[in-house]
Structure 1
Amino acid sequence: MSVPTTVTMADPLWRPSPKAKQLWAINAALLWLPLFVVQAVALVFHWWPVWVHVTVLGVTIVLAILHVAVVPLWRYRVHRWEISDTAVYTRSGWFTQERRIAPISRIQTVDTERGPIDRMLGLATVTVTTASSAGAVKISALDQDTADRTVARLTEIAGTNVGDAT
């Protein structure tokens, strides 16, 4: 009887751009903006007693500050990515963490995406589409130059790999 060997994988080495913290903070702040608008409208039209306004506003401010200030730092500590000659490996999430490994032989497309805030900060997201039912692997918040080099490298590796990509 053979003894099974345990294989441990190292965490991916590379972090997103340090500007990722700003990106995630801005996105978090934009999520809270509608709630503050609703509270302002409620205050103007006296929908609730003053003590309710003050209580709800206080709770909202505390939660928004935590979300905007703490979550981006936490996400930055967790998010990692790496490319080898055989796979694309990512770790992401802040509350629920996900590890994804996409074999190079399964890559179908490599795309770059830049939203308005990404462009403002000089960032991009590289999306690696594979034949996996789990969906694409995303490498978020890379500096534009790093994203371009990553896309070129993945294209080069995938072009030399004789996989089925299905």
Structure 2
Amino acid sequence: MTSQQIPQKHPEHPETGELPLELRPPRHRVSSAAIRYWTTRALLGWLVLTAVQVVWLVLGRDHLGWRIPILVATLVLGAAHVMVMPRWRYAVHRWESTAEAVYTQSGWFDQERRIAPISRIQTVDSERGPLEQIFGLSNVTVTTASAAGPLKINGLDRDTAQRLVDDLTSTTQATHGDAT
């Protein structure tokens, strides 16, 4: 048996007797409405940039030779970003809450996977901006004493976010720990 085939036994915590938590992929996807939200948000940003370039093109008719290729590049990059990024993010973004921990995975180019033990949670917040409200989405932020910052779960439907906040609040109040 090679070292890759030998199951690794994790030692129990000396004081609590608990097994350590393992960083693993979370089970739940965010809401599919997040795809439309991320698409709309990206599209609005690219439309603003394109509008500025069109105004620049119309008002400054000199030097058209290099302004038109810049506008074309903006349109091509914008279209690629709007078509690829939302679906890619949806494939990556995941979350899970158990009795022991909260797991998150996010990003698209720069992907991050995090875990926060329930005993370390200090606050649980939810928020939604105007555009997120239109799409029926909410974000949940789980704050711990970690130097890495809070865990953020973006793109949850409102009901799921509210249930998660309620469950985490109840669980953290019932959990003994120092939350540091």
What TM-score results when the alignment is normalised by the length of structure 2? 0.85
CA-to-aligned-CA distance 1:81-132 (integer Å, 9 cap, x gap): 0001010000000001101101100111100010011100010000001111
Counterpart of 1:145?
159
- Equivalent pairs counted in the alignment come to 164
Q: Show the counterpart of 1:67.
A: 81
Does structure 1 conserve the Cα–Cα contact (< 8 Å) formed by 2:25 and 2:113?
no
Give, as a single letter, the amino acid of the residue that structure 2 aligns with 1:21.
I
C-alpha distance in structure 1 between counterparts of 2:152 and 2:103, whole Å: 10
Which residue matches 1:99? 113
Residue matched to 2:178: 164
Structure 1 residue identity aligned to 2:127: E
Seq. identity, %: 52
Give secondary structure in 1 for the equivalent of 2:29.
coil
Counterpart AA for 1:44: V
Task: Give the Cα separation in 2 of the matches to 1:100 and 1:20.
Answer: 20
1:108 and 2:111 correspond: no
1:17 aligns with 2:31: yes
Match of 2:108, SS state, is coil
Partner of 2:179, secondary structure, is coil
Deviation at 1:31, TM superposition (A): 2.2
What code does the residue aligned with 2:105 have? R
1:5 aligns with 2:8: yes
Superposed CA RMSD: 1.8
Q: Is the 8 A contact 1:42 1:48 kept in 2?
A: no
Shift of 1:47: 5.1
Q: Does residue 43 of structure 1 match 2:57?
A: yes
Aligned residue in 1 for 2:69: 55
Output the CA distance in 2 between the equivalents of 1:148 and 1:133.
26
CA distance in 1, matches of 2:169, 2:143: 12
Secondary structure at the counterpart of residue 28 of structure 2: coil
1:119-149 CA-partner distances (Å, limit 9, x unpaired): 0001000000111111110011000000000
Distance 1:79 1:6 in 2: 29
Check the 8 A contact 2:140/2:165 in 1, yes or no: yes
Q: Which runs of 5+ in 1 are unaligned?
A: none
TM-superposed deviation, 1:27: 1.6
Query: Is 1:27 matched up with 2:41?
Result: yes
Q: TM-score, normalised by structure 1?
A: 0.92
SS of residue in 2 equivalent to 1:66:
helix
Amino acid in structure 2 at the alignment position of 1:31: G
